[in-house]
Amino acid sequence: DQQVKQNSPSLSVQEGRISILNCDYTNSMFDYFLWYKKYPAEGPTFLISISSIKDKNEDGRFTVFLNKSAKHLSLHIVPSQPGDSAVYFCAASVQGAQKLVFGQGTRLTINP
């Protein structure tokens, strides 16, 4: 039972353009969502998060959008840079549950 799904295993974007990574969830109890970035053979690095009381959160080039009615969130990276090439994981939690549920990841490749 995959509660958090990233349906695109990979995405290729030209440098300077916008990268949009998508994530869907099925558990309506999730109230906190996170995005992590991971390079090969390294641990994931926390990027940005959003609480269910918001529908948007920005941090520099990164913006996360949450659509609760659709149970969908997305990560926008503008402008995309070569260093953004990595695997991106979305994760979700229920406050107080102490655990995160991760999606399968999307490999983002930024082409020069």
**Residues found near other proteins in the complex (CB under 8 A):** 4, 6, 9, 32, 34, 36, 41-46, 49, 89, 93, 95, 98-100, 102-105
The number of CA neighbours under 13 Å toward the Cβ of 96 is 1
Q: How far is the CB of 9 from other proteins (least distance, A)?
A: 7
Side chain identity at 17, as an amino acid letter?
R
Looking at beta carbons only, is 14 or 45 nearer to other proteins? 45
By beta-carbon proximity to other proteins, the closer residue of 14 and 95 is 95
Min dist. Cβ of residue 94 to other proteins (A): 9
Distance separating alpha carbons of residues 81 and 111, to the nearest angstrom: 9
Shortest distance (Å) from residue 25 CB to other proteins = 13
The answer for residues whose C-beta is within 8 angstroms of residue 74's C-beta and 6 or more apart is 20, 21, 22, 23, 64, 65
